[in-house]
Amino acid sequence: MDANTIALKLVLDAVAEPTEIGTVMDRLRLQKAIYLIQASGVNLGYSYSWYVRGPYSTNLTKDYYRLSDELRSSASEVEQYNLSPGLNTGLAKAKDILNKPSGVGLGVPNWYELLASIHYLMTYSRLDFGKMKELLSAEKPHLRDFIDVGYNRLRQCGYLS
């Protein structure tokens, strides 16, 4: 395994995110989880651009397919590696945001999509709350009713000021 693949596996394990990529929703969940993990201060080197389902990284896609192939084809060598203790604060912050509150009527992949989309639009596209809400409501009607909840959660967890 190369360093990127090992780091990806270790970080996913640290926040208890599955590595499965068998379905579109698995891949959506993983894309948005890594986006949020990076937003928490754990830089894995993935850059993102806006795509149909929110922030998307082509390089991450390549790495999680490589990870899946390597985990299927051989015993994992990841156990001999450890993450830097300096990542603990960012990983704790990531675990907090990835923990979907009870009562939110979205599945985990869509919850992550909501959070990552709000964060990306407000941080990188520099939209204010009103413009972000208008854009998400138009482009992602399945998330419309949860925008306020997602925005408040991001603020509560320190992802937005």
Query: Which one-letter amino acid corresponds to residue 70?
Result: E
pLDDT at residue 71, as a whole number: 84
Q: How far apart are CA 126 and CA 87, in angstroms?
A: 27
Closest CA relative to residue 7, chosen from 68, 86, 95, 81: 81
pLDDT at residue 2, as a whole number: 84
Q: At what angle do helices 24-39 and 88-98 cross, to 10 degrees?
A: 130
Q: How far apart are CA 49 and CA 101, in angstroms?
A: 27
Residue with tokens 């603990």: 88
User: What tens-digit pLDDT sequence spans the chain (161 residues)?
Assistant: 788 899 999 999 999 999 999 999 999 999 999 999 999 999 999 999 999 899 999 999 999 999 998 888 765 677 788 889 889 899 999 999 999 999 999 999 999 999 999 999 999 999 999 999 999 999 999 999 999 999 999 999 999 98
pLDDT at residue 77, as a whole number: 72
Q: How far apart are CA 56 and CA 141, in angstroms?
A: 19
pLDDT at residue 76, as a whole number: 64
Please state the pTM of the whole predicted model.
Answer: 0.94
H or E segment and range at residue 10: helix 3-14
